[in-house]
Amino acid sequence: MQVKTTRLEAEDAKIIYQETAGLAIITIHRPQAKNALTANMWDQLAKIALQVLDNPKNKVLILRGSGENFTAGSDIKEFNAISLEKAEEAFVHMEKTISTIESLPIPTIGVINGPAMGAGLELALACDIRIGSEKAKLGIPVGKLGITLNNKFAQRLVQLVGPSTTKDLVFTGRMFKAEEAFKLGMLNYLVAEKDLNKYMIRMGKLVAGMSPESLLAVKQSVQECVDSVPSLWQGSTPFVGKDFEEGCRAFVEKRQPQFIRQSK
């Protein structure tokens, strides 16, 4: 089996791109930070996702993290050193990358081993199919950081788990394990960690063997049925506000944030 591998550097991190037997595999590799994505990595991820389409032999995109993590989402420490305006721009850019992956005209499979947090979970939910190991852990700790849940992320959650469970997961910011994620529908398949890569390839090849024209039509029809509009997030309130400054400081200082309710 021939494998073509490309490593694209982004500071001290890598986005690894491989092609094999009709499968395009993107691996987020920044193990020292639980595969948290820097702004440069989000940019590279978007470029590589579109690069997948350059090879007509690529029938399926597989997105995964290296080692024992999917991705912890965006690198919060990076935000602590910039203004709110720059942070807002970074979140908008991140959302564009996620929407790019969601709107690709080929099937996408997210493979989750270990934590998928915040934007990392949103990235996983943008994939058409999600496979997780028993070590997968998911969470939406936006409230701990003073980040808003944009309309598009909220839509993805409500479609999968309903409004009440969405509020529960966001209001509490709790981590939940693979079994609960599977029951909620966030994971389509739950497999043993030792079998994850083998199952990933088998599922990828199964989907790659289908008619690309048929799968594209189905993907477009499903998006229309659920009104999954990639630009929906653009109608959201800002991603960050005054609470985000305190949330970032608390994260870096490893303490509980002290938020103050703003009067109208």
Q: Is 261 within the bounds of a domain?
A: no
Per-residue pLDDT of the chain (264 residues; tens, 9 = 90+): 445 555 555 445 699 999 999 999 999 999 999 999 999 999 999 999 999 999 999 999 999 999 999 999 999 888 888 888 888 898 899 999 999 999 999 999 999 999 999 999 999 999 999 999 999 999 999 988 888 888 888 988 999 999 999 999 999 999 999 999 999 999 999 999 999 999 999 999 999 999 999 999 999 998 888 764 445 545 556 666 667 777 777 778 878 877 665 655
- Please report the pLDDT score of residue 7 as a whole number: 58
Residue corresponding to tokens 């599977």: 182
Domain region containing 110: 4-193+211-253
Task: Tell me, yes or no, whether 200 lies in a domain.
Answer: no
CB hemisphere CA count around 252 (13 angstroms): 13
Q: Tell me the whole-structure pTM to 2 decimals.
A: 0.85
Answer yes or no: is 203 within a domain.
no
- 205 occurs within a structural domain: no
Give yes or no for a contact between 65 and 117, defined as CB atoms under 8 angstroms apart: no
pLDDT digits (tens, 9 = 90+) for 59-117: 999 999 999 999 999 998 888 888 888 888 988 999 999 999 999 999 999 999 999 99
**106 within some domain:** yes
* Whole-number Cα distances in Å, 80 to 45, 75, 84, 157: 22, 9, 9, 27
Q: Is residue 259 part of a domain?
A: no
Total count of domains within the chain: 1
Assess if residue 71 is contained within a domain. yes
Strand partners, 28: 15, 65
Q: Give the CATH number of the domain where residue 16 resides.
A: 3.90.226.10
For residue 239, give the amino acid letter. Answer: F
Residue 143 falls inside a structural domain: yes
